[in-house]
Structure 1
Amino acid sequence: MECRLCLGSAPAESSVSIFGDPHPERLEQRIRTCCQIFVKRGDGLPDTVCLSCKTNLELLISFRKACFRNNESSRLRLDDCLKIETEEVLLEDLIWNDEPSQSTIHRKNSEICLKSFPIESELILHKRSLLGENLFQCDICFKSFLKKYRLVIHLRTHTGEKPYKCEICLKSFSRKSGLVSHSKLHTGIKLHKCDICLKSFCERKRLVRHLRTHTGEKPYKCEICLKSFIDKYNLVSHEKLHTGIKLHKCDICLKSFFERKRLVRHLRTHTGEKPYKCEICLKSFIDKYNLVSHEKLHTGIKPHKCEICLKSFTQKSDLVSHSKLHTGIKPHKCEICLKSFYEIKRLVRHLRTHTGEKPYKCEICLKSFSRKSDLVSHSKLHTGIKLHKCDICLKSFL
C-alpha cells in the first residue's frame, strides 16, 4: 500500500484508509486543514496513509489547537492590560487637560491603515482582522473567526439552531439580520425598483444582486476552479463541494448532503410535502426554485434564446439541453437497442420502454406512468380545471 502523503510503501495491516477513519474529525478533513491538500474519494490517487504520517497529523492537530488556546489567552491578558492603561490615561486627561493627549490619540489610530476608533478594544479587533489573526475556531470544520459571536452564529449551521422567529408566519432564522430582512416582506413596501424590468425589492442589496442578472456580472470567484458567482452566498455553497465533507445525513435513506437546506429539501421527497404553491394554477412544488421556474410559464416570457436557431426558452436549463442538439454528439447509448441520446436522463427514460418500469403513480386513481410529464397531464383530468379556451368555438381544454 502506498501512502498518500509520504509516498512510502507499507503493508496493508500498517496502513490506514483515509475514508474509513471512525474518528469524528475525519482523516481527509485533517489532511485538508493541516496540509492544504484536498483528498477526494475515487480521484485515482492513493487512498491510504501510513501509521507514521497518521501519528504526525494527530500531533500537528494537537499542537495547532494548543497554539490557538495559548494565543487566545495571551490576547485576553493583553486586552486587560490595554484596557487598564487606557482608563488611566483618559482619567489623567480629564483632570489636567481640556484636550486628549497625543498618546491617547495615537493608541486609537491604526498604524496600518490610519483608521480611527472610539475605544481601544475596537482598534485591537481591527488590527487582528488586518493581520488575519482569527482566535476562535470551529471544532467541526476548523473555520476560524475574529469574534466569538461570529463563531456562535457559525455553529448554528452545524446544529440547525434557529433562535429568531417571525411573530407573523412563525418562520425561524439563525441570525437576527435574517429575521429583520424577512420582516420587511410582511410590510409589502418595496422601495427599490429595477430601472430595466421595473421589478421592486424590499432591500437595496436584493436590487443590487438582481441587477447582475441583467449585466451578467459575477464578482465572486472560486479560488480552486475559478468558477464565478452572482453573490457571495452562492460562492460559499459552491466551495463546500471542494471539501468533500457532507455533514448532513438523511435518517431514512442515509444519503448525505453538503448543506442543511439540501437535506431539508431532500426529506420532502420522503414525506411528500410541497409547501410552495402557484397562485395561478394552484400547482405545488417541493422548493421555491421550482415554483419560480414554473411561474415563468404563465408570463409567456422566454428570455433564453438559442444563438443558432433563435428558438427561445423559459429556463436556462432548457436552452442548455437544446444546444446539445446542434452539436450532433450523442454520447449516451442504449445497450439493448443501441439507440443513442444527447442526455443521460433521456437514456434513463428510454430504458423504461424495455423494462416496463412505470415509477410515476397517480395518487387518486393509482394509474402508473413511465414519464413524469404523462403523470402531470393525467393529473389535470382529476382537477377539472380547463385553462385553455378556443377563441372560435369557446371549447376549453386541460
Structure 2
Amino acid sequence: MRGVSRWPELNTGTMECRLCLGSAPAESSVSIFGDPHPELLEQRIRTCCQIQVKRGDGFPDTVCLSCKTNLELLISFRKACFRSNETSQLKLSDCLEIKTEEVLLEDLICDGEPSLPTIHRNNSGICLKPFPSESKLVLHKRSHCKEKLFKCDVCLKSFTRKYDLVLHLRSHTGEKPYKCEICLKSFTQKYKLSQHNKLHTGIRPYKCNICLKSFIHKSSLGAHNKLHTGIKPHKCDFCLKSFIHKYRLALHLRSHMREKSYECEICLKSFYHKNSLVSHKKLHTGLKPHECDICLKSFVHKRGLVLHLRSHTGEKPYKCEICSKSFTDKSNLGVHTISHTGIKPHKCDICLKSFGRKRGLVLHLRSHTGKQV
C-alpha cells in the first residue's frame, strides 16, 4: 500500500526530489502542494510527466529547482507550439477559406494556466501577443490605434491604460506602496517587490555555461552572456567607444553632454549617474562598515576595502599589454595606457597646453591662478 508507506527520511535539512530523486537542501526545494498556488505545480506534473501526485501518498512532496525549471520550460514550449499551430491554421484559412477548429490551451495543459487568446489583426497584419482575458485584449488594441485616453494632470503625459497612469503618478508623488518585510525597502510596483524578494533567498537558479557565474533572474543571465561574445554593438558618435548594452551608452553620453542630473541635497555636488549619487551620499553618514581584518582600517565602500587589501597582499591584477607594468586598480591601468598612445585629452583653456592626465591639468591651472602647488 503506497498510500500508507513512508518514504525513507534523509539527513536533517535535506529534501528528496519527487521527480529525479536527487537530494537538495530544504531551502533549495519547492513544495508541490505549497503556496502561493498549491494546485499549479501539482497539475503541471500530472499533465507534462503523466505522473499522479497526491498529498499524503507516501512519496516525496518536494521538487528541486532544476526539475521545476524544466517543467516551466516544457510548459513554455507547449504554449509556443499551440500558438504556432493556431497561426498556421489562420494562414491556411485565409488562403483556402476553410473553417478550422479552435484549440484552447486550457483544455490541453491544466487549470490555472492562462488561456490562448483569439489572434487579432492590426493595420500592419497579425498581432500574436497573448492575453488572459477579453478585457485586456480590448485595452491592448488601443496601442495599435495610438489612442491615449488617460492624461497626467502634472506633466500632461498621456497613456493607453489607466493602470499605466496610476504607476506614472507615483513618480510625481514618490509613493512606494510595496515594502519588503525583511529589509523594509519600498517599490512602486508589486512585481518589483517580488523580484527583490529573491535576493533574500540566496537562490541563483540561472547559471552561465561558460564561467559558471549564477544569477537570480533569467534576464540577468541573458545580459551577462553578451559579455562572452565580445560584441559591442552600441558605439558613441563622439569618441567611438563601444558598449555591450544600450543603457551603458546612454550613461556614457552624459559625460560628453556635461549633463549632471543628480544633485546631492547636502553638499549640492552633481553627478552624471544616479548610482554615483547614491554612493556619494554614504560619505555624509559617517559610517564605514567595511573594515580591514589586518590593520582594522575602515572604508565607506566595499570597493575601497578590496583595493586596500591589495596593499597587504601585493596583488596587482591589471597588467599593461605594452610594457607589462601592473596596477592594483583598473582605472590606473586606463590612465597609464593613454601614455603609450601619446593622446593628451585634457587641454588648458588659457594657454592651450595639453596633458595626458586630468590631475596634470589641475596642477597646471594653479600656475595661472597663483595658487601654490
TM-score by length of 1: 0.46
